[in-house]
């Protein structure tokens, strides 16, 4: 008989490793919640056109990697390959930008899907935590988001990551650079698909990872030489704010990211311990995206950090998170009457906010105590017929090994006192 397996390029998260993923998500979200970002959740699929317009028709994400489907009604949908376009669509649909409090600051967490060649750190289903600040053009916002991501990583104990920073200009200066870059690229020895990309979005060619392409790009015109005064001043302020905050970064003039909607500030978090898939997260400013998807002018900035990649970075640095055990008290009944009574005690403890579990299945004392040990519980409650006749249970400290009777009516109060 055959058994089903997870689809190629995907993974299941099961205990105990899943606890690390939860802790990473919480660590990334914590500084966002403390900085005025509200939680948003969007569907796992959207209209194909949202990503074609927003992410960019020339990107690998749209041309090669999106999972698309046609509904019975003939609608073209896509599993979401990234979060920003969906979040901005949802914010516009809910008119959050009209509530009078800009920027609209949102954070999200979820699964995303891209059809890629599976390898370490690159999956067809992956998890991200993201943040978006919608509706305000301010270098302080750009700096805030980079600082919050840096804070999240450092709170996990990560140290061997780098922040790459660049400016992609705006609608005033980028067209001039685009024309100069196209002129340069048209003379290179490139394949037909790359030549097509030159005409649609030449900046994407700079992001080509192939060595033979990169070798030809040595003398390509530099975007920094084409930035208008306003973009230069904006970028310098972002750099100054990061420096003042003590956040180290590296200028990377070839950093363009894999999405078409970025303008001005763009950044990437990379970890050298991850090999070829070194990016653990990134983002930037996307001042024109709202208009691309049919909304008003809403300058915005955001990022997404990969949970999977962050876990790999922790493993590369040999960092083990100090994860609390999920169980504080484990109840071991000996006999049918004890099962009934102790389950009532466990229910009472849970209502009092104490994490408690139970030896299900009528196992003997030896097997149940092994389960108690594996659960990581600090205390066990053991009761048999004699204990119940005396109106007590035996409370055992699993660290010290000390054990003694506690009156049934006092169990919750005693454990609350001991567990603080």
- Locate the domains of the chain by residue range: 17-173+227-316, 329-419
Q: Cβ atoms within 10 A of the Cβ of 233, count?
A: 11
pLDDT computed for residue 2 by the predictor:
60
- Give the model confidence (pLDDT) of 47-70 as tens digits: 999 988 877 665 666 777 889 999
Task: Pull the structure tokens for residue 378.
Answer: 């600090």
- CATH number of the 329-419 domain: 3.40.50.800
Asked whether the CA dihedral 310, 312, 314, 317 is positive or negative, the reply is negative
Which residues, other chains included, contact 410 with Cβ-Cβ below 8 Å and sequence gap of 6+?
none
Q: Which of 81-90, 155-164, 232-241, 251-260 has the lowest mean pLDDT?
A: 251-260
| Angle at alpha carbon of residue 75, lines to 74 and 79, rounded to 5° | 130
In this prediction, residue 405 has a pLDDT band, given cuts at 50, 70 and 90, of very high
The H or E element spanning position 262 is none
**Mean pLDDT of all residues belonging to the chain:** 91
Mean local confidence (pLDDT), 367-378: 93
Q: Locate tokens 């001043």: which residue?
A: 233
Asked whether the CA dihedral 293, 296, 301, 304 is positive or negative, the reply is negative
Which residue, among 325, 322, 320, 321, has the nearest Cα to 376 in the 3D structure? Answer: 325
Q: Which of 50-64, 151-165, 177-191, 214-228 has the lowest mean pLDDT?
A: 50-64
pLDDT computed for residue 260 by the predictor:
64
Mean local confidence (pLDDT), 233-241: 97
CATH class of the domain comprising 17-173+227-316? alpha beta
Would you say residue 1 has pLDDT above 70?
Answer: no
Mean local confidence (pLDDT), 290-303: 94
d(CA 249, CA 247): 7
Mean local confidence (pLDDT), 166-171: 91
| Angle at alpha carbon of residue 59, lines to 56 and 61, rounded to 5° | 100
pLDDT computed for residue 207 by the predictor:
76
Q: What percent of the chain has pLDDT over 70?
A: 96
pLDDT computed for residue 288 by the predictor:
87
Q: Which of 269-273, 274-278, 310-314 has the lowest mean pLDDT?
A: 274-278
- Give the model confidence (pLDDT) of 71-124 as tens digits: 999 999 999 999 999 999 999 999 999 998 899 999 999 999 998 887 777 888
In this prediction, residue 391 has a pLDDT band, given cuts at 50, 70 and 90, of very high
Do 17-173+227-316 and 329-419 fold alike per CATH?
no
């Amino acid at each position: 008989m055959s058994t089903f397996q997870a689809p190629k390029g995907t993974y299941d998260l099961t205990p105990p490793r899943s606890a690390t993923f939860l802790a990473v998500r919480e660590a990334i979200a914590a500084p966002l919640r403390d900085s005025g970002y509200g939680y948003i959740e969007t569907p796992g699929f959207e209209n194909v056109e949202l990503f074609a317009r927003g992410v960019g028709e020339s990107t690998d994400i749209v041309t090669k990697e999106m999972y698309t489907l046609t509904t019975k009604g003939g609608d073209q949908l896509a599993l979401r390959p990234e979060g920003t376009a969906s979040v901005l669509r949802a914010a516009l649909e809910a008119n959050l930008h009209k509530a009078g409090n800009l920027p609209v600051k949102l954070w999200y967490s979820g699964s995303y899907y891209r059809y890629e060649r599976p390898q370490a750190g690159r999956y067809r289903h992956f998890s991200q935590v993201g943040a978006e600040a919608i509706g305000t053009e301010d270098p302080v916002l750009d700096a805030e988001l980079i600082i919050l991501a840096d804070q999240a990583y450092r709170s996990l104990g990560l140290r061997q990551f780098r922040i790459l920073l660049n400016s992609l200009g705006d609608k005033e200066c980028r067209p001039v650079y685009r024309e100069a870059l196209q002129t340069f690229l048209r003379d290179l020895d490139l394949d037909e698909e790359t030549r097509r990309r030159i005409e649609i979005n030449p900046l994407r060619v700079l992001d080509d990872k192939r060595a033979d392409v990169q070798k030809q790009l040595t003398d390509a015109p530099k975007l920094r030489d084409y930035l208008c005064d306003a973009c230069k001043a904006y970028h310098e302020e972002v750099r100054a704010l990061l420096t003042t905050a003590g956040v180290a970064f590296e200028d990377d003039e070839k950093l363009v990211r894999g999405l078409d909607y970025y303008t001005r500030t763009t950044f990437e978090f990379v970890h050298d311990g991850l090999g070829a898939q070194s990016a653990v997260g990134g983002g930037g400013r996307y001042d024109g995206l709202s208009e691309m998807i049919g909304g008003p002018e809403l300058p915005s900035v955001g990022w997404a950090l990969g949970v999977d990649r962050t876990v790999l970075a922790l493993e590369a640095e040999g960092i083990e998170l100090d994860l609390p055990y999920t169980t504080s008290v484990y109840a071991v009944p000996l006999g049918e009457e004890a099962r009934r009574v102790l389950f009532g005690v466990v229910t009472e403890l849970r209502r009092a906010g104490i994490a408690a579990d139970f030896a299900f299945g009528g196992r003997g004392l030896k097997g149940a105590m092994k389960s108690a040990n594996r659960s990581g519980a600090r205390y066990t409650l053991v009761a048999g017929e004699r204990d119940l006749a005396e109106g007590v249970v035996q409370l055992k400290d699993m660290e010290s090994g000390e054990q003694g009777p506690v009156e049934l009516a006092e169990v919750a109060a005693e454990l609350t006192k001991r567990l603080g």
